[in-house]
Amino acid sequence: MNKKVNIHLLNIIIFLQGFVFYAPIATIYRENRGISISQIFLIESIYMIVIIFLEIPWGVFADKFGYKKTLVLANFIFLMSKVIFFKANSFYMFLFERLLLAVAISGLSGCDSTLLYLSLDKKENSERVFAKYEFFSNLGFLLGSFMSTFIINISMDLSAFFTIIPYAFASFISLFLKDINIKGEERVGIVKNIKNILMKRGMLFFIGGIALISEVVQSITVFLNQNIYIRSNIDIKYFGVLLAVIQIISLFSVKSYKITNKLGQIKSIIILLVIILISSFILIFTNNFIITFSGIALISTSMAFISPISLDVENKSITSIDRATVLSIYSMIGSVISAGINPIIGVASNYSLEMGLIICCVIGFISIILISIYKVRIDL
């Protein structure tokens, strides 16, 4: 069996799922369909809570019944969430869309990176493979953002409709993945895996720090960026172009391993976290469109570099055969943290855009502290 085919197919799937044509106007689209910023963040919090409850069951399912079956099922549900998003016109419909997305994401979480990792002949190349995986995701998002400029100009509704098409292809392609069975080792179960993770307290600091900064970046680059652009008098018709430019810059994250080879993985992450914090702080005060765009671009690009590095750190920390289960536990811990801080950012942002950004800065600073503690622990 040629395991490498999985790497190519997964890259194609993540590339197609990057074509989210409504991404540049995601917040405005929802607002035009009748929901407020605070409701958007409330839905996001419920979404995170559902993920928390589904992460471990999906991981156990993947380890027991196969990674291919899990990815096929999760990708189909992912497709259905896009169909519902196109049809949604109320709080409850958007909530239903997000619940389906939670089911899909919790199924994909850990399972895709597990199949990638197990499909490698040389595990020392894992960071390069994860970086390439992120590259194809960013490339798809880039092309989708560029195309969205023309689609949105015709109709915002069409941007949601056309997003369904690449997701349908991605769901179909997942049928051709090759499953990998690990033999000769016994599975230790959920409780033992949780105990093993709790014994590695350093990883808890790492997971917590990454979860916090991920939520900050998600809030700024997905939900708040459009209002930040409007505050800086940037016309909505340019949102797609700006997002496309950011994705072009983010493509350089495919070379993240070159930075970590020189500085080390954790030191590289800390430097990138500082860049995100400084950029977020500047966004509180500026109305200049060049500085605004530069700040959001730096935040997005820094996270693009962090993602493959953190994936590699998490995968290399696992010694258990239940790899998808352990990654799901990691993700669940992160989701618990995200669900806790998401409504705080939402309420603050509903009060004022500046207050939301201030809260993001505070959370970003805490993230730097946690990752620094992790670095100290592994250096001892």
Distances (CA, A) of 257 to 138, 210, 252, 263, 354: 17, 18, 11, 10, 35
Q: CA-based diameter of the chain, in Å?
A: 62
Helix (H, G, I), strand (E, B) or coil at 352: coil
Dist CA 312 CA 252 (whole Å): 17
Query: With contact defined as beta carbons under 8 Å apart, do 14 and 133 qualify?
Result: yes
Query: With contact defined as beta carbons under 8 Å apart, do 367 and 213 qualify?
Result: yes
Binning pLDDT at 50, 70 and 90, where does residue 183 land? low
Q: 276, 295, 274: which is closest to 225 by C-alpha?
A: 295
Specify the DSSP class assigned to residue 121. S
Query: With contact defined as beta carbons under 8 Å apart, do 296 and 228 qualify?
Result: yes
Residue 185 has pLDDT above 60, yes or no: no
Res 1: pLDDT: 55
Average pLDDT of 8-20? 94
- The percent of residues in the chain predicted with pLDDT above 90, rounded, is 44
Tell me, rounded to whole angstroms, the distance of Cα 288 from its chain centroid: 28
In this structure, the chain runs to a length of 380
Res 274: pLDDT: 97
* Angle in degrees, 0-180, between the axes of helices 201-218 and 190-199, rounded to the nearest 10: 90
| Secondary structure element (H or E) that encloses residue 316, with its range | helix 289-316
What's the whole-model pTM score?
0.80
177 CB-near residues (< 8 Å, 6+ apart): 5, 6, 9, 10, 67, 68, 71, 72, 115
Res 186: pLDDT: 59
Dist CA 211 CA 232 (whole Å): 29
Query: With contact defined as beta carbons under 8 Å apart, do 223 and 27 qualify?
Result: yes
Dist CA 150 CA 145 (whole Å): 9
* Angle in degrees, 0-180, between the axes of helices 91-108 and 67-87, rounded to the nearest 10: 160
Dist CA 190 CA 325 (whole Å): 7
Task: Give CA torsion, residues 280, 285, 291, 294, to 10 deg.
Answer: 10
3-class secondary structure for 94-112?
A: HHHHHHHHHHHHHHHCCHH
Res 286: pLDDT: 94
CATH of 4-179+188-379 among 3.20.20.140, 3.30.1300.30, 3.40.50.300, 1.20.1250.20: 1.20.1250.20
Q: Which residue has the tokens 């995968």?
A: 315
Residue 269 has pLDDT above 80, yes or no: yes
Q: Which residue has the tokens 């995986």?
A: 133
Q: 59, 41, 22, 130: which is closest to 323 by C-alpha?
A: 59
Residue 298 has pLDDT above 90, yes or no: yes
pLDDT in tens, 316-325: 888 777 888 8
Residue 82 has pLDDT above 80, yes or no: yes
Structure tokens at 365: 């600073």
Mean per-residue pLDDT of the chain: 88
Res 210: pLDDT: 96
Dist CA 306 CA 304 (whole Å): 6
Dist CA 4 CA 94 (whole Å): 38
**Residue 182 identity:** I
Binning pLDDT at 50, 70 and 90, where does residue 123 land? low
